[in-house]
Amino acid sequence: MKEINELNLPEELMYSDDHEWAQKEDAVITIGITDYAQDQLGDIVFVEMPEIGDSFAKGDEFGTLESVKAVSEVFIPVGGEVVAVNEDLEDSPELVNEDPYTNWIIKIKPVTDNEFQTLLSREKYLQLLKG
pLDDT in tens, 8-54: 999 999 999 999 999 999 999 999 999 999 999 999 999 999 999 99
CA–CA distances in Å: residue 93 to residues 78, 81, 86, 87, 90: 23, 23, 10, 10, 6
Overall number of domains in the chain: 1
pLDDT over 90 at 88, yes or no: yes
What CATH number is attached to the domain comprising 88?
2.40.50.100
How much is the pLDDT for 102? Answer: 97
For residue 131, is it within any domain? no
- Please give the Cα distance from 100 to 35 (Å, whole number): 6
Q: Whole domain around residue 116: which residue ranges?
A: 4-126
Average pLDDT of the chain is 97
For residue 94, is it within any domain? yes
For residue 117, is it within any domain? yes
For residue 51, is it within any domain? yes
